[in-house]
Amino acid sequence: MSEEEKAEITKIGVVGAGAWGTALAQQSANAGCDVTLWAREDEVVTSINERHENELFLQGVPLAKQIKATNDLAAMGSMDFIFMVVPAQFVRNVLSDLKQYISENAVIVLCAKGIEQSTGKLMTEVVAEILPKSPLVVLSGPTFAHEVAKGLPSAVTVASKYQRVARRLSDAIGLPTFRPYASRDVVGAEIGGALKNVFAIACGITTGRKMGENARAALITRSLSEMVRFGERYGAERATMMGLCGLGDLILTCSSPQSRNMSLGIAIGEGKTGEEIMSGRRTVAEGFHTSSILAKICKDEELDLPIIMAVNAILHEGKDIDTAIMDLLNRPFVDEIENKN
């Protein structure tokens, strides 16, 4: 490799070494980028650097040897792109710690899917508060970490108001088996990723209650309607909700127990409580936290999103599951497509 080619190598820092962060590090390394992966846990750093595997969060997937793991945030200081892949409720604190090390030219790639529980703010709003001058990209779409890390075909939305930045990122990490599609609708890309987690819990509950495939298909479709309604409140484009980061992610997350949120819902549907399930997990089901703040936003904004309200009532208000289901089924019959005239 020539010195000129070396100079052109994109430096990518991934903050958060859970399954998805590790998969994105693997994808970036396979695309030829120089990758540094930050992990909070010392055992994860050791596992990746010495055995080239994240034995804690992505067991059984051999990782590219050029991935360097660290628990020092200062290592992010020279990166071209910084992927934020920590759980949504930790984004603010980690970004605040990271701020002192990075330049204003570093592009923040937001990969966390959720809404801040304490403030009701979107992750893009949190990033803008802490790093107001940093270019921002939202990366979201229908992706299971194990499949991306193994190089199975996937596609994602890469959204930014700076299309040049979005395309530079796509060129850096894209491969035939990992296809980034550019978008300008940053808010829409984020909302799709946040809300689908709550709907996946709902689908899991119906699966755990053995309500059948018809019920799940209807629930996914009505969930999309709620996603569009919520997104339009924030200025998101309807077309974005129909794309990879909306409908695509919704279908994937609501259709397989591989989804942490759906598997949480299945366990709840089978009779376990949300608290006991969450306490026994090392990984985070973002929808558990997002549901409560979404319900508050719906009340404050007078948004009619009954599926979200039902999930919150089951998870956080102690409502009986069968009562919540019957309340949904007994809602008045209405037109499928809302008439805005």
Annotated catalytic residue: which of 65, 161, 196, 296?
Answer: 196
> In the predicted model, is pLDDT for residue 278 greater than 90?
no
Res 3: pLDDT: 37
161 among known catalytic residues: no
pLDDT tens-digit readout, 23-42: 999 999 999 999 999 999 99
Q: Do 108 and 82 meet the contact criterion of CB atoms below 8 Å apart?
A: yes
pLDDT tens-digit readout, 160-207: 999 999 999 999 999 999 999 999 999 999 999 999 999 999 999 999
Domains and CATH numbers, the chain: 3-184 (3.40.50.720), 188-329 (1.10.1040.10)
Rounded-to-integer distance, Cα 153 and Cα 165, Å = 23
> In the predicted model, is pLDDT for residue 119 greater than 80?
yes
pTM of the full structure: 0.93
Q: Name the band, by pLDDT with cuts 50, 70 and 90, for residue 280.
A: low
Q: Name the band, by pLDDT with cuts 50, 70 and 90, for residue 124.
A: very high
